[in-house]
Amino acid sequence: MKIAGLASNRGRNLRHIADVAPGGAELSVVLTNRENAPVLEAATERRIPTEVVARDEDESRAAHERRILDRLSGYDFDIVCLDGYMRVLTDEFLASAPTTLNVHPSLLPSFPGMDAHEQVLDSGVRTTGCTVHVVTEAVDAGPIVTQEPVPVYADDDADSLKDRVLHDAEFTAYPRAVRWFAEDRVTVEREDDGDGTGDATSVTVEGDVGGDFPERRFVSEERADTLRYGENPHQDAALYVDDGCEEASVVAADQHNPGAKGMGYNNYNDADAALNLVKEFDEPAAAVIKHTNPAGCATADTLADAYDRALRTDAKSAFGGIVALNRECDADTADAVVDSFKEVVVAPGYTDSALDVLREKKNLRVLDVGPLGEGDDRFSERFTEKPIVGGRLVQERDMQSPTAADLEVVTEREPTDEQLETMVFAWKTLKHVKSNGILFATGTETVGVGMGQVSRVDAVALAAMKAEKDAEGKSAEGAVMASDAFFPFPDAIEEAAEAGIEAVIQPGGSVNDEDVIAAADEHDMAMAFTGSRCFRHD
């Protein structure tokens, strides 16, 4: 799609559209009504042809526009985009030119005209933005194509608001509108005047729908705190809160240790990972997290026992880690937590005696997230998000929770009931291990964890090494191994057999599944497929 751009000054929106080429659209010409307008140099730098058609002192609007149309007639274009073009166009121009768009720096129909930002500030509204609309002879009254909001802050003036509306709203909305036209998704309805050139009356956009993954999203969050620093001391950071979240979270948690240091970026990140892990289990569960990965996790009849089993998986790595519990923390568990250095403990409540113990550690952050709920009620947030440069990835949360009955046994040897229980536990825990992830478990406790490896064989070797060197009173001998994705070759099974693994849970689905199963049979291992993987890449 080709664009004819009209601007009277700098034409920053036109320059931005030229740079990002939304939907493959290109500017075929930039025309201005002012000699020496800065947009001319900017267009020339981008090798876009330019035209200057200044209005003569005694020239009528209609005559001036006829000269503009005549000058544009030598160019191929499908749409006209105005950008700070300081002339009101007449019906003659609009009837002769293709659909003409303009961007206005407010959320029309509020605050039309030349001084939109001043009007916004005078009105006291807390949200403004921009509007891309089809141009009609009535100023700022044409049908709306799209809008983009921005907040108005108490310390704003017209200049700061203008700058933010331009960069945060116009640079988003105008390319979006152009892309929609380039993709032939926009229908402009016009008055029936017999020749199809009447005023535009309405706009519809094909596919502009809502649902789980809507065409457009507006995210509104408020800053809850400025953090001491980000992942590293040279990085600034802040915490923003979604007040609509109903799920128990570390963001909304009360901190029960007065005088302790505030939560940092890494503390929040790790505490969130720890809490999400223990939410997986109905039984009393404890997890110790380091750098968002489980150093250990376990369920047991009592919370203190679950914590002890989780810690003994890798007490060395747990030093300075995060503890999460899915039951009210009692004094016995608190005594065990403070026995070694921890940064944060997260739980859905604490007994008074537990708080007395935990508060003895001056800088231990004690977070109370409130009731976790039961079953599926523990999870109200359906989606997870990851910001990337230039955008944001959104996906459904990994809520899979297979039971023993869901597993497909593929080996000659059948897993025992105890191994099936361990497989289910291991899979729930493995969902929270960075890929490539391998987890060794016995009963309902971890034995060794191999995380974040670029080779699955290396992940197996790491889990075996951690089980042998760092697990206290545990062994990989006779354990269950869980893999977050299929084994592409039998070599990882060979590595696991050498470590003493007797049963495996994995997704299956490799072209080499038969070879992998044969290797398991050769080592008298039981193996079950889940039919789905549980990658975690962030």
At 285, phi and psi to the nearest 5? -135, 150
Report whether pLDDT(158) > 80. yes
User: What is residue 195's predicted lDDT score, i.e. its pLDDT?
Assistant: 58
Torsion of CA 428, 433, 439, 445, to 10 degrees: -50
Cβ neighbours of residue 514 closer than 8 Å, sequence gap 6 or more:
none
For residues 456-472, average pLDDT: 97
* Pick from 3-7, 88-92, 201-205, 312-316: least confident: 88-92
Nearest CA among 215, 138, 112, 134 for reference residue 178: 134
User: What is residue 222's predicted lDDT score, i.e. its pLDDT?
Assistant: 92
Indicate the pLDDT class of residue 377, thresholds 50, 70 and 90.
confident
For residue 519, CA distances in Å to 256, 490, 493, 512 come to 52, 6, 7, 11
Report whether pLDDT(421) > 80. yes
What's the length of the chain? 538
User: What is residue 194's predicted lDDT score, i.e. its pLDDT?
Assistant: 59
User: What is residue 492's predicted lDDT score, i.e. its pLDDT?
Assistant: 96
- Which stretch of DSSP H or E encloses residue 204? strand 200-205
Residue positions annotated with a catalytic role: 104
User: What is residue 38's predicted lDDT score, i.e. its pLDDT?
Assistant: 97
Backbone CA torsion sign across 75, 79, 85, 89: positive
Report whether pLDDT(172) > 70. yes
| pLDDT tens-digit map of 497-510 | 999 999 999 999 99
Predicted model pTM: 0.88
User: What is residue 191's predicted lDDT score, i.e. its pLDDT?
Assistant: 85
User: What is residue 259's predicted lDDT score, i.e. its pLDDT?
Assistant: 87
* Pick from 77-86, 113-122, 214-223, 319-328: least confident: 214-223
User: What is residue 115's predicted lDDT score, i.e. its pLDDT?
Assistant: 94
Do the beta carbons of residue 463 and residue 501 sit within 8 Å?
no
User: What is residue 499's predicted lDDT score, i.e. its pLDDT?
Assistant: 97
All domains of the chain in start order, with CATH: 2-205 (3.40.50.170), 235-368 (3.40.140.20), 403-529 (3.40.140.20)
Report whether pLDDT(538) > 90. no
| pLDDT tens-digit map of 30-73 | 999 999 999 999 999 999 999 999 999 999 999 999 999 999 99
Tell me the pLDDT of the chain averaged across its residues.
Answer: 95
